[in-house]
Amino acid sequence: MVERVTQAFLQAYGKQPTRLFAAPGRVNLIGEHTDYNDGFVLPCAIDYETIVAISSRDDERMLVLACDAGNAEDSFDPGTVFVAQPEEWKNHVRGVAASFRERGHELAGANVAIAGNVPRGAGLSSSASLGVALATAFAEMNTLAHLTPTDFALIAQQSENDFVGCACGIMDQLVSARAMAGSALLIDCRSLDARPVAISSDVAVLIVHSGIERGLVDSAYNERRFQCQNAAKHYGVAALRDLDMEQMEAYRGNLDALSYRRARHVVAENARTLDAAEALSSGNIDRLSTLMAASHASMRDDFEITTPEIDGLVAMMGDHLGASGGARMTGGGFGGCVVALVARDKLDGLKMLVHERYRTPDGNRPRMFQCTASSGSSRIA
């Protein structure tokens, strides 16, 4: 991919890029719909990434080449007001530039080429990967050395929230910016504190795409976010992060059953995420299996964001693994992927099972991605 983006850059601009930057996609191992409730998440970066090739220009223009959009091009002045474009990829680039400007950082002109291999439509954060790679590149090219990886994540998140139109939390960008190779990242979404949690070399990460494209995600997401806020208001807390199960039951009062179920998922999921971090660091795959199964059941029954096909896929994988690994839906819900943490000696058997017995809604075999926990964004050349 480095050669592909470098050659595209050379062909477009007539010279080699001066620097290359990369940022990874991610998969969330556990901790679903907890981020906007100030809770805990446990994602890891994956070895699929976006690469940005860049060099400075003598004028104030920013020229951009998107290798994965048929070598489509864009040209804009990063010092001017953001103007939305019909093509979403352009809004991602312009949005990151606008986020720098809104923070008081003027960007110089640049030639840019972008290429990536993060699977799209799989819930593996190709957008966050792009945003963080751009933020990392723009910061270094403009000698903004005081900016940290957390700043890169916040800039990329602001771009998505304010300019692309996606009301995402901080998890995707933060792990793309701050991940450590060989580890997941336990993130406190209130303080943005994060600590690496080592993944044993005996444990493999497998992602299976259900073949179900997520539909009506925005309306369902906003509805559940409102239900969680309503429950937090009932309990008199800033966010559901501030409750435990005993308090929930003791002060339930007249809270409606639906809001209670939504809150119960979040409160229990926070506890499961903290437990999973400990189990992962100690190599307790049996405990991880139990926690991931409970997480999926909670998403299915209390938060109601799974689908029958994904429920069946998770059950099939879980039955096969037993205490040798865990599986659950990952991502916002209503489609997307299943993530499994698998004892490495069980991996081939699990992949064969899924290949032989699961079919996507259109009758095809599913896409599977065996991933390595990777490091966060950096300059690579």
What are the residue numbers of the active site?
A: 172
Nearest alpha-carbon partner for 100 in 59, 64, 69, 141 = 141
Are 117 and 154 in contact by the 8 Å Cβ rule? The answer is no
Task: Tell me how far apart the alpha carbons of residues 106 and 56 are, in angstroms, rounded to a whole number.
Answer: 14
Q: Tokens for 290?
A: 């139990």
* Sequence-distant (≥ 6) Cβ neighbours of residue 170 within 8 angstroms: 35, 153, 154, 157, 187, 189, 192
Are 44 and 341 in contact by the 8 Å Cβ rule? The answer is no
Sign of torsion, CA 95 375 338 299?
Answer: negative
Read off the DSSP letter of residue 380.
-
Q: Tokens for 24?
A: 């990874």
Are 20 and 5 in contact by the 8 Å Cβ rule? The answer is yes
DSSP string, 252-297: -TT--HHHHHHHHHHHHHHHHHHHHHHHHHHT-HHHHHHHHHHHHH
Residue 255 vs residues 83, 240, 267, 332: alpha-carbon distances, Å = 44, 14, 15, 25
Where does 31-178 show beta strands of DSSP type E?
40-56, 62-66, 72-76, 110-116
206: β partners: 340, 370
Nearest alpha-carbon partner for 107 in 73, 147, 166 = 147
Task: Tell me how far apart the alpha carbons of residues 41 and 28 are, in angstroms, rounded to a whole number.
Answer: 7
Task: Tell me how far apart the alpha carbons of residues 356 and 346 are, in angstroms, rounded to a whole number.
Answer: 16
Are 112 and 93 in contact by the 8 Å Cβ rule? The answer is yes
Residue with tokens 């999921």: 269
Residue with tokens 């994904």: 310
Give the relative orientation of helices 347-357 and 308-321 as an angle to the nearest 10 degrees.
140
CA 72 and chain centroid, separation: 25
